[in-house]
């Protein structure tokens, strides 16, 4: 008869305080030809990048996500020009400056600016994930002990551990058009962010 084992999956969470905001900014430009559309989008995203830097964001926290151009059509199916877009990812480390940055960017390029995402995050998740993994293992062990008792056995040594996941369990996010911001700016409240982990553990039963 083979050795008796029990395999369970445990989950755990840890609350952390967000210390950065991730912005996903996009600038679009319409033109009659591809070159003009691309040039207009490039000029707009350059202005946005300058605004972001003027508000203290380091070069290392600014990254181009993508760029593209598509043909535009009217409601009759006739080609009427091209639309180019460029996207910029910005990490803001002063939460209180997010509203100022978005307002200044909107002033720089007007309605060409779209804010695809404003997301609270943690710059270093290592400590929070460590606590979440501790909680996940403890949850798995508690379940395993219960199953061992129900099986008329005792929990023995650990035979295997596999992480089933380590991802944010809950995050604050929002999407908005730059033109919808009011004159008072957009306040960002830190609150708490939950990081989650899951682990699958196998114990020997004795």
- Structure confidence by residue, pLDDT tens digits, 65-102: 999 999 999 999 999 999 999 999 999 999 889 999 99
- Give the global pTM: 0.73
- CA distance linking residue 193 with residue 39, whole number of Å: 40
Q: In terms of domains, do 65 and 110 share one?
A: yes
Partnered with residue 187 across adjacent β-strands are none
pLDDT at 59 over 60: yes
Q: In terms of domains, do 116 and 139 share one?
A: no
Residue 185 maps to a domain: no
pLDDT at 52 over 50: yes
- CA distance linking residue 70 with residue 65, whole number of Å: 17
Residue 25 maps to a domain: yes
Residue 139 maps to a domain: yes
Residue 186 maps to a domain: no
Q: Provide the number of structural domains found in the chain.
A: 2
Q: In terms of domains, do 100 and 30 share one?
A: yes
Residue 31 maps to a domain: yes
Inter-residue contact 37 to 29 (CB < 8 Å): yes
Residue 42 maps to a domain: yes
**Domain residues for 112?**
20-121
Q: Could you say which of 65, 100, 121 is where a domain stops?
A: 121
Residue 181 maps to a domain: no
Average pLDDT value over all residues in the chain: 88
């Amino acid at each position: 008869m083979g050795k008796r084992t029990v395999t369970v999956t445990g989950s755990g969470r840890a609350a952390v305080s967000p210390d950065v905001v991730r912005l996903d900014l996009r600038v679009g430009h319409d033109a009659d030809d591809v070159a003009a559309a691309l040039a207009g989008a490039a000029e707009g995203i350059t202005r946005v990048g300058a605004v972001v830097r003027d508000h203290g964001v380091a070069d290392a926290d600014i990254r181009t996500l993508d760029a593209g151009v598509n043909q535009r059509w009217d409601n009759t199916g006739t080609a009427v020009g091209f639309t180019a877009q460029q996207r910029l990812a910005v990490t803001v480390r002063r939460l209180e400056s997010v509203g100022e940055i978005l307002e200044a960017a909107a002033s720089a390029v007007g309605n060409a600016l779209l804010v695809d995402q404003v997301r609270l995050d943690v710059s270093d998740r290592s400590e929070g994930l460590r606590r979440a993994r501790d909680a996940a293992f403890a949850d798995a062990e508690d379940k395993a002990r219960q199953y061992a008792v129900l099986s008329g056995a005792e929990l023995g040594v650990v035979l295997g551990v596999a992480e089933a996941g380590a991802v944010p369990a809950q995050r604050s996010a929002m999407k908005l058009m730059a033109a919808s911001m009011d004159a008072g700016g957009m306040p960002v409240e830190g609150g708490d962010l939950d990081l989650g982990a899951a682990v699958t553990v196998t114990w020997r039963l004795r």
